[in-house]
Amino acid sequence: MPAHLPITLIIVSDYEPGPKTWADEDAAVRAYTNDPAGAPAEIIVAAATQDEATPHPDWTGLNVRMVFIDAEASASMKDAATPDASHDLIAVIEADCVCEPGWLAALHQEMIDKPHLGAVSGTTMYRPTTALRRAASLIDRGFIRAQLANGDYYHVSNNGALYRAALLKANPYPEAVSPFVSAERRNQRMKRDGARFGYASAAIQYHEFGGWPFIADVRGNKGHQHYLTAFSGKTPVGGRLRTMIRCIRGDLASTVKSYFAYCRLTDLPILLALLVYARPFEWQGATMAKNEMKLVEGTSYR
């Protein structure tokens, strides 16, 4: 059996494209439990009370606890599970991300080597089997590599990161239905309070990928997120235009900094097509935010 790392792992699902199946949660539990580089000392699977009636997998013999929370938003489920953690380090992952072996051990080592860090995350990507997946990984996930002048990192990943328990418990998610909005606002608050973030390139997770419709969902949520977190006080048209500029600048920054970390040279045509494809959905998401819709209509994120 793998050695236990002194970490509580919380698994929560934020993307629900269909009826509850527990397939993602089961895959995550098995991957982390059997990681030869080190398994978490305990695992908490946090789910909505509405899913309690759906039979979950048999985890007998594994150090797994189920916590059912009377909430539909993934941010609320993450927060509600945090007080149940028994360790001073808490990893929080979204169930639709499956780790490469050593993900948790790499984050743990980074926290040991750099005790000033409050949280650390690694590389998230879609399995790089096609040009579309690689290009989408770059523009959806490349932002995590953004660094500050002091060598720390600007972001910590919402879909998978390791936190010091004190930092996590002191910074619950702000009240917001969208996981995109709540994640950015919490990151901003942590940084204002002096938290420092790290990045471990050896820690790799693969996020589920649903093709072009999935990209449309993500980009609509990004437009919604940027409008609400940065431009909601502007005029409606001005706010949406600034949102588009922010989205484009972010994609270009990721492309310049991290192209070859995710893509091949031959992927450039599909990346250019993707950059054009994303824009209408971002505008639509910003429009929904302008109309005071807390959640992107039709999204599978919760």
**Domains and their CATH numbers in the chain:** 4-207 (3.90.550.10), 211-290 (no CATH)
Work out the average pLDDT over 161-180. 91
DSSP 108-128: HHHHHH-TT-SEEEEEEE--S
Give the pLDDT of residue 77. Answer: 86
pLDDT at 301: 87
Q: What is the pLDDT of residue 119?
A: 98
Tell me if 162 sits within 8 A of 104, measured CB to CB.
yes
Model pLDDT, residue 54: 86
Q: Quote the crossing angle between the two packed helices 268-290 and 236-262, to the nearest 10°.
A: 150
Name the phi and psi angles at 245, rounded to 5. -65, -40
pLDDT of residue 10: 97
Q: Is 61 left (phi over 0), alpha (psi -120 to 50) or beta?
A: left
Tell me which DSSP letter residue 100 carries. Answer: P
Among 203, 165, 168, residue whose Cα is nearest residue 187? 168
Provide the pLDDT for residue 26: 94
pLDDT given for residue 143 in this prediction: 92
Cα 87 to Cα 113: distance, rounded to the nearest angstrom: 18
The whole-number pLDDT of residue 1 equals: 64
pLDDT of residue 232: 87
Instruction: Give the pairing type, strands 160-164 and 119-125.
Output: antiparallel
Task: Please give the Cα distance from 292 to 277 (Å, whole number).
Answer: 25
For the chain, helix (H) and strand (E) counts, in that order, are: 9, 8
Out of 17-31, 119-133, 136-150, least confident range: 17-31
Q: Per-residue pLDDT for 16 more than 80?
A: no
244 has a pLDDT exceeding 80: yes
Q: What is the largest CA-CA distance in the chain?
A: 58
Choose the weakest-confidence range: 16-30, 122-136, 137-151, 285-299. 16-30
Compute the 3-state secondary structure of the chain and give helix, strand, coil in percent, each to the nearest 5.
50, 20, 30
pLDDT confidence tier of residue 19, bands split at 50, 70 and 90: confident
Q: Is pLDDT of 15 > 80?
A: no
Q: Give me the count of residues in the chain.
A: 302
Q: 279-301 in b/e burial notation, b at 16+ Cβ within 10 A?
A: eebbbbbbbbbbeeeebbeebbb
Report residue 50's pLDDT band, with 50, 70 and 90 as the boundaries.
confident
Grade residue 14 by pLDDT with cuts at 50, 70 and 90: confident
* Residue 206 in tokens: 């693969």
Residue 213 above 70 pLDDT? yes
Q: Is the pLDDT of residue 20 over 90?
A: no
Tell me the pLDDT tens digit for each residue of 267-276.
999 999 999 9
